[in-house]
Amino acid sequence: MRQRDTPVRRAQHFYTPPPSSRPDAWDLVPPAERVWRWYEQQMQRRVAPPAGTLIGASIYARINHGRWVGDCPCGSAQVVTPDDPRFACPECGYGWARVVFPQKPELAEAEVAARAPHERNWWHDDDSTAWDRPRPPRPGKDPGPPEDPAPAEPTPAEPQPEEPAPEEPVAGPKGGRR
């Protein structure tokens, strides 16, 4: 399979049942809720998805290393999908929020398809808060790399070795000369 044939991963392809279960065991679980099943299986503890939706809360989806990701305010992240644009965090319990995808997610996926997997990154145009989004330098705010400052005072010259004194005869242990 060629690199460009590897699709951007979505929640329904990322969160899968453990090998001990049938591959279709989670087919009836909505993709946004699979993270909860996966989290339970990985962490070996019970967690329950939130019961309600956070009114007005939304999270921008982005492509990170070839996966659709939603970032929680707590710093955690989950793989998301445009097929079920909801997000809830099993780490901190952040309730269900709407995930904002581009109008045509396939175009964003096509934009990154030819890149190496670790370079398959894309950010929503309206998301100005993405912590890892590359940003152009701001005039007056980001001066760029610091220049080598000129020294405040001249650097002292290195001392030159003095001419050695002519050798003088030295008395030895028995008063003799060397």
Name 70's bridge partners: 61, 78
With a CB cutoff of 8 Å and minimum separation 6, the contacts of 166 are none
Lowest mean pLDDT: which of 64-68, 82-86, 133-137? 133-137
CA–CA separation, 79 and 36 (whole Å): 12
Query: Could you tell me what percent of the chain has a pLDDT over 70?
Result: 79
Average pLDDT value for residue range 25-31? 93
pTM: 0.70
Q: How confident is the model at residue 3 (pLDDT cuts 50, 70, 90)?
A: low
Contact 8, 63 (CB under 8 A): yes
With a CB cutoff of 8 Å and minimum separation 6, the contacts of 12 are 31, 34, 81, 83, 84
User: What does the CA dihedral 65, 122, 62, 27 come to, rounded to 10 degrees?
Assistant: -60
Q: How confident is the model at residue 160 (pLDDT cuts 50, 70, 90)?
A: confident
